[in-house]
Structure 1
């Protein structure tokens, strides 16, 4: 019984994975969509970036502030 359920689950998961990738396989130059925040133009227009980018921006701003206060 458990083996039958495991086999059904594996077949279903393989089918779902194939269906998700079918557009990428058929389309010329197809690739997975960029779902990262940094790849979203509307978010960038609003000034919303991923955590890594926001950290880099904040660190850069702090360095400029420190240079100005030390000079």
Structure 2
């Protein structure tokens, strides 16, 4: 019984991984979505950046 559940879970994970990769390969631009603050054009226009980038810039100034 436990073995069947484990096999079912593994099979389900394989199917999900395949379906997720289909979107990446079939998209015109492909790849994963950039969720980093620096990759957002609207935030960049407003002068907003991530805390790590701001910290790095401040350390360079001092």
Give the TM-score normalised by the residue count of structure 2: 0.75
* Number of positions where the alignment pairs a residue of Structure 1 with one of Structure 2: 62
Question: Where does the alignment leave 5 or more consecutive residues of structure 2 unmatched?
Answer: none
For the aligned residue pairs, the C-alpha RMSD in angstroms reads 1.8
Query: How far 1:26 moved relative to its partner?
Result: 2.3
Higher relative contact order (CA 8 A, sep 6+): 2
1:51 and 2:37 are equivalent in the alignment: no
Give the TM-score normalised by the residue count of structure 1: 0.68
Runs of 4+ off more than 3 Å: none
**Which of these two proteins has the greater Rg computed from alpha carbons?**
1
